[in-house]
Amino acid sequence: MQKNIYEENNYNLESVKILESIGAQKALFMYQRMLEIREFEERIKLLFLEGKMPGTVHQYIGQEACAVGVCSALNEDDVIASTHRPHGHAIAKGLPMTELMAELYGKITGCCKGKGGSMHLGDMDKGMLPAIAIVGGNIPIVMGMGLAFKLRGEKRVAVSFFGDGASNEGAFHEGINMAAVYKVPAVFVCENNQYGASTNRKLVMNIENIADRASSYGMRSDIGDGMNVLDVYKRAKEALEFARNGEGPTLLEFKTFRLCGHSRRDPNNYMSVEEKDFWKKRDPIPLFENFLVKQGILDSGKITEIRKAVEDKIEEAVKFGQESPEPAAEDTYNDLYINMEVPR
Amino acid sequence: MRLGIAEALRKAIHDEMARDPSVFCIGEDIGISGGFGGAFTVTLGLEKDFRDRMIDTPISEIGIFGAACGAAIMGMRPIADVEYGDFLLCAMDQVVSQIAKMRYMSGGKLKVPVVMRAPVGVTGRGSQHAQNLEPYFLSCPGLKIVAPATAYDAVGLLRAAVRDDDPVLIFEHKLLYGSKGPRQESGAVDASSEIPEEDYIVPIGKGIIRREGKDVTIIGSLLMMHFSMQAAEILAKEGIDCEVLDPRTIWPLDTELIFSSVKKTGRVVIVEESPKQGGVGAEIGIQIAENISDYLLSPVTRVAAPNTPAPFSPVMEKFYIPQPERIAKAVREMINIV
């Protein structure tokens, strides 16, 4: 773990090396993906507050570097599983924003045909399990996905995203232990955003690092800066290769922060002003943007161009979501069993 | 070849694993050399032929069913078991919120072909290793639930379950296994069958008439099917002609068969080994009442366990489980009312 993990800006010589290894094009792609998540979430917040969107939403603002850093390190046929806060993971995995927005509106054109909604975004055709909104619930499932790869001798890796809160669930203990015992090709990515809903991790855990728990399972672990997308990328890449080579899973913790409420209209009054200010300075998007400018990869003209492209995609997604047809009420009966009608 | 349920299931699982390399078993104590082959010997020795596909687990039911869920989504066909059905409750989230709902939440874009095996039955172990769990899962859309009462059905339903693309939960009865050696059960009932050589399945969703009769339909699964048959024999000597219907599948219910039998007899007694409150009998009974009440000559009657946990004392336990004589008494009372 880096000593300066909570420093304001962790972009340094190491970041320059990572940038050189991935190249400018990939870096710009990662920058754009982070912006897409941010702008998608900002737009949804407005639509939700205006009462134009049904259901509830758990937003990913502030954590973009985690999803984008990890997903940029995946192979095409690797799979991921997310949580009740899945918008960022879905965009990072390449699910079209049009289908995601339609799903949030409960439309038939959504990635789950309107049956999933915000908390279950996903599409296995694109390598993302419908998000598991039970805290910790995806950890044993991802272990099982890795087990399937291992039994068939495939060089694929399954990745679980979860939060600090999930590491206190029984499912974490059982899933992580079995993953370690069977050495399944999996990476368990804990996005430690400091809060389980309104509860600070320090109130419910006596340890500073969730990754420390890995030692009690005999599992490899690593800790990275979840506000530095290049640091996330590098550590994810190492964990993925470790798994792919048959050496076993990793518990990979990223220190991050939710720069928004837990859900709906949460004003997060349980966070101090100082804490919010501290993390606001570590917003992963301006940090990465400034770094890329300093490295001569971005300039104001290019930034404007990328932002415009992102805005256009969001506009298209909102339009698609709003104008897509509703499912028929009777579609409720579809998609449960494969070879059987639902008994009525 | 005449086999008991444990031996028959062992052979059926072996054959399915030999037929399809995506089939594997996962559970506690299932493939340990020198061990039990699961709590009731069903998987005894399978590790000799399929070491890599007999996954022995820690005592981690959330992990077992999570693993089965994830592996099934990725194209495998896991057979996940618990040593006692009661332990399914430890894995309730994985079974109910993950395995059963995943396909639906995905909009039908994936499948979860998991087979879950769980021994049930009130069998001298007190409250936590001896309950019938069918009612807990009957209210869970997305699962198919089967309950074989004979070795023939155990083989046919196991094959059907493994080959089905939806999750199937198999309830097996501890007193019907015919487990041998140190794992023999006291009070066991013979459920052995002649198992044909050919590859057959018992379709999920199809019940069977075990005994034809004209006066009353008795509906019972697992051990209660056998006790209902015994009750029918007692009653036959008294001139009461009972039809005994074994649903074999708890969900989806074979309502066609149930309705046709009850329409014929006009009377129905539903027998269950679990408490009467919120039970399988309540579901079957209300389906009859909603759909064919005009045919009923008497009110639908349930014979069930008391609305308590299972007690340990053999005296209380015998009182708890519907015995053949208690079933016969309910039938007599019903006939006398008319």
pLDDT per position as a tens digit, A78-92: 999 999 999 999 999
Number of H helices, E strands in chain A: 12, 7
pTM tops 0.90, yes or no: yes
Average pLDDT value for residue range A321-325:
98
Q: Which residue of A has its CA nearest to B27?
A: A178
Contact (CB, 8 A) for A143 and A186:
yes
Q: Do B76 and A148 touch (CB under 8 A)?
A: yes
* β-bridge mates for residue A159, sequence order: A80, A187
**Nearest residue to A93 (alpha-carbon basis) of A68, A121, A114:** A68
Comparing B2-194 with B208-337, is the CATH topology the same? yes
Q: Do B69 and A134 touch (CB under 8 A)?
A: no
pLDDT exceeds cutoff 70 at A331: yes
Integer Cα distance of B287 and B305 in angstroms: 21
pLDDT exceeds cutoff 50 at A132: yes
Q: What is the mean pLDDT of chain A?
A: 96
Residues from chain A that touch B57, judged by Cβ atoms under 8 A, are: 178
Residues from chain B that touch A115, judged by Cβ atoms under 8 A, are: 104-107
In this structure, the number of other CB atoms found within 10 A of the CB of residue B231 comes to 30
Does the domain made of A13-333 have the CATH classification 3.40.50.970? yes
Confidence of residue A6 (pLDDT cuts 50, 70, 90): confident
Q: Do B69 and A144 touch (CB under 8 A)?
A: yes
Q: Do A339 and B166 touch (CB under 8 A)?
A: yes
Task: Write down the pLDDT at residue A52.
Answer: 84
Share above pLDDT 90 across residues of chain B, in percent, rounded to a whole number:
95
Share above pLDDT 90 across residues of chain A, in percent, rounded to a whole number:
94
Window A:98-157, CB contacts with B under 8 Å: 110-116, 120, 122-125, 129-130, 132, 134, 137, 139-149, 151-152
Nearest chain A Cα distance for residue B318, angstroms: 36
Window B:206-245, CB contacts with A under 8 Å: none
Nearest chain A Cα distance for residue B316, angstroms: 36
Nearest chain B Cα distance for residue A148, angstroms: 5
Task: Write down the pLDDT at residue A3.
Answer: 53
B97 Cβ under 8 Å from any chain A Cβ: yes
Residues from chain B that touch A173, judged by Cβ atoms under 8 A, are: 60
Q: Which residue of B has its CA nearest to A144?
A: B67
Nearest chain B Cα distance for residue A275, angstroms: 35
Q: How far is CA B232 from CA B59, B88, B302, B322, B329, in A?
A: 42, 33, 16, 14, 11
pLDDT, tens only, A288-308: 999 999 999 999 999 999 999
Task: Write down the pLDDT at residue A264.
Answer: 80
A-B CB pairs within 8 A amount to 155
Nearest chain B Cα distance for residue A28, angstroms: 32
Low pLDDT (below 70) residues in chain B: 337-338
Q: Which of A108, A118, A151 to mutate to test the interface with B (most CBs of B within 10 A)?
A: A151
Task: Write down the pLDDT at residue A4.
Answer: 63
pLDDT, tens only, A138-167: 999 999 999 999 999 999 999 999 999 999
Q: What is the mean pLDDT of chain B?
A: 96
Between CA B261 and CA B267, with CA B266 as vertex, the angle to 5 degrees is 90
Provide the H-helix boundaries in chain A: 13-22, 24-49, 64-71, 87-92, 97-104, 138-152, 170-182, 201-204, 229-244, 273-280, 284-294, 300-323
Q: Do A337 and B63 touch (CB under 8 A)?
A: no
Contact (CB, 8 A) for A95 and A128:
yes
Bond prior to B252 in cis (omega within 30° of 0) = yes
Task: Write down the pLDDT at residue A339.
Answer: 87
Integer Cα distance of A340 and A336 in angstroms: 9
Q: Which CATH architecture has domain B2-194?
A: 3-Layer(aba) Sandwich (3.40)
Q: Is B129 a catalytic residue?
A: yes
Confidence of residue A7 (pLDDT cuts 50, 70, 90): confident
Residues from chain B that touch A132, judged by Cβ atoms under 8 A, are: 98
Q: Which of A99, A109, A147, A155 to mutate to test the interface with B (most CBs of B within 10 A)?
A: A147
Integer Cα distance of B172 and B102 in angstroms: 25
B106 Cβ under 8 Å from any chain A Cβ: yes
Confidence of residue A1 (pLDDT cuts 50, 70, 90): very low
pLDDT, tens only, A218-263: 999 999 999 999 999 999 999 999 999 999 999 999 999 999 999 9
Pick the CATH number of B208-337 from 3.40.50.920, 1.10.10.10, 3.40.50.2300, 3.30.565.10: 3.40.50.920
pLDDT, tens only, B183-218: 788 889 999 999 999 999 999 999 999 999 999 999
Q: Do A140 and B94 touch (CB under 8 A)?
A: yes
Q: Which of B61, B70, B106 sits opposite A148 (nearest CB)?
A: B70
Nearest chain A Cα distance for residue B95, angstroms: 11
Residues from chain B that touch A170, judged by Cβ atoms under 8 A, are: 62
pLDDT, tens only, B218-243: 999 999 999 999 999 999 999 999 99
Task: Write down the pLDDT at residue B338.
Answer: 46
Q: Do B107 and A110 touch (CB under 8 A)?
A: yes
* Domain parsing of chain B, residue ranges: 2-194, 208-337
Residues from chain A that touch B252, judged by Cβ atoms under 8 A, are: 340, 343
